[in-house]
């Protein structure tokens, strides 16, 4: 079950992110979140207050977490080595993570996002082969490379319900 995160969920959310960092480090992606303890507690609190952080609960326990952000993301304003398939309004999935004990965390986050938006974007680190596989399996198309505020590159994807791309740069 997907529901909005609450401040009382913070210990469980931080535990999920710790498990995700350990998984990434053990599976060839040691730098995406591990180097700087991302996402920071303060960011999670802000996301909860903005009502854009969600948890995935099974059996009364938080097993997954993700941010669902409606509207334009400044990080996606410029894309290199490709283009966005259209200039339609979109929402973004960020910081999708699971604790490793429940399968289908991304599927649940994606289905939630799809119930809210027709165009969904996501990005991931070049070394995050698990995320690349999962988003491509769910029908996202690799669009190019975006750069975080830090300058770090990320592979950018978009899912379109309509599947009628116009291939406009935005």
Q: Within 13 Å of residue 148, how many CA atoms lie on the same side as its CB?
A: 11
Query: What is the average pLDDT value for the chain, to the nearest integer?
Result: 92
Q: C-alpha distances in angstroms, 109 versus 80, 98, 104, 133, 153?
A: 27, 11, 9, 15, 23
Residue of 78, 80, 161 lying closest to 120 (CA atoms): 161
- Please tell me the predicted confidence (pLDDT) of residue 158: 98
Mind listing the pLDDT tens digit for each residue in 62-78?
999 999 999 999 999 99
Mind listing the pLDDT tens digit for each residue in 1-45?
999 999 999 999 999 999 999 999 898 888 787 656 789 999 999
Domain ranges of the chain: 2-160
Residue of 156, 168, 148 lying closest to 31 (CA atoms): 148
What CATH number does domain 2-160 carry, 3.30.230.70, 3.40.630.30, 3.60.130.10, 3.90.1150.10? Answer: 3.40.630.30
List the beta strands (DSSP E) in 28-60. 53-58
């Amino acid at each position: 079950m997907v529901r909005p995160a609450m401040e009382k969920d913070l210990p469980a959310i931080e535990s999920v992110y710790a498990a995700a960092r350990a998984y990434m480090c053990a599976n060839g992606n040691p730098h995406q979140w591990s180097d700087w303890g991302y996402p920071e507690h303060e960011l999670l609190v802000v996301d909860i207050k903005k009502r854009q952080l969600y948890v995935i609960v099974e059996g009364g326990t938080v097993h997954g977490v993700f941010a669902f952000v409606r509207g334009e993301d400044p990080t996606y304003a410029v894309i290199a080595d490709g283009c966005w398939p259209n200039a339609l309004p979109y929402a973004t999935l960020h910081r999708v993570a699971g604790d490793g004990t429940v399968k289908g965390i991304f599927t649940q986050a994606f289905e939630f996002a799809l119930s809210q938006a027709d165009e969904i974007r996501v990005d991931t680190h070049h070394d995050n082969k698990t995320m690349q596989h999962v988003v491509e399996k769910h029908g996202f198309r690799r669009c190019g490379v975006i750069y975080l505020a830090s300058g770090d590159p990320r592979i950018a994807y978009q899912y379109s319900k309509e599947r009628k791309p116009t291939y406009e740069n935005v």
